[in-house]
Amino acid sequence: MPVFEAMTVLSPSAALLTKTLQPKITTNHQTPIFLNKSTAKLESNKIISICSPQLSNTKASAISGSPGIEAGSGLVSEDTTNILDTVEVFDLNGNAIPISDLWKDRKTVVAFARHFGCVLCRRRADYLAAKKDVMDASGVALVLIGPGSVDQAKTFSEQTKFKGEVYADPSHSSYKALQFVSGVSTTFTPKAGLKIIQSYMEGYRQDWKLSFEEDTVAKGGWQQGGIIVAGPGKTNISYIHKDKEAGDDPDIEDIIKACC
């Protein structure tokens, strides 16, 4: 995988830092590509060399791998839950829904994507959906929210065939409320680069059309997401994982323990 492609997979905003690329538009799962050991090592070294955390002196501040903490215990403050109660997301029909309604009357696992074209987010969607039968058996809903438009959410849903519910957050209000990290130093890291290679080898693909839409390039390129387990009850957030960097997936068993 070319070095520039790996950079732009991590963030469409990287396209603004170098020459214009005319990307090939692809969808999620296609025929997997396989690298031999020597090629994979070479590509990995290239990624590491361009993904140095020294790209920014700003150190990410995030909580990751949390075992889950009740909202009132300090991780999710009362102010945060109050702000979340004012946040609206949009379903695939364009209807506005208070985000806290997604878990008001049920327990819900909510995944926050980096953006709808992100290859790592497509991998995360599958990683969560693989446990949907366990969630269903416990009466737990599975939701994915992305920082983009309803049309982008529809395309993501159609391409990935995600088994859960998909919502759009065009204003990024939920990301701000939960204080998910954003920035160059959280996007270009060696681990993120290696996970890009792994995802491509497994057959996942970035959607370049979604990735290069104006809203994503302008606002979503550096955004990181996370995962929460919430409900029943608007203020009951029992688990939160804030991605420290792109592709920072928590242990799936931690999520299952928290929700089921």
Instruction: Express each pLDDT in 57-98 by its tens digit.
Output: 333 323 444 434 443 445 688 899 999 999 999 999 999 999
For the chain, percent helix, then strand, then coil, each to nearest 5?
Answer: 45, 15, 45
Q: From residue 77, give the alpha-carbon distance in Å to each of 97, 146, 173, 186.
A: 22, 23, 16, 24
Residue pair 246/224 in contact (Cβ under 8 Å)? The answer is: yes
Cis peptide before 232 (omega within 30 of 0): yes
Instruction: Please tell me the distance from the alpha carbon of residue 141 to that of residue 230, in angstroms, as a whole number.
Output: 10
Instruction: Please tell me the distance from the alpha carbon of residue 42 to that of residue 134, in angstroms, as a whole number.
Output: 39
What six digits make up the tokens of 113?
Answer: 């994507």
Closest CA to 232 of 147, 138, 151: 138
pLDDT at 178 over 50: yes
pLDDT in tens, 9-64: 555 544 443 333 333 333 444 433 344 444 444 444 444 333 333 333 333 323 44
What six digits make up the tokens of 187?
Answer: 């996007």
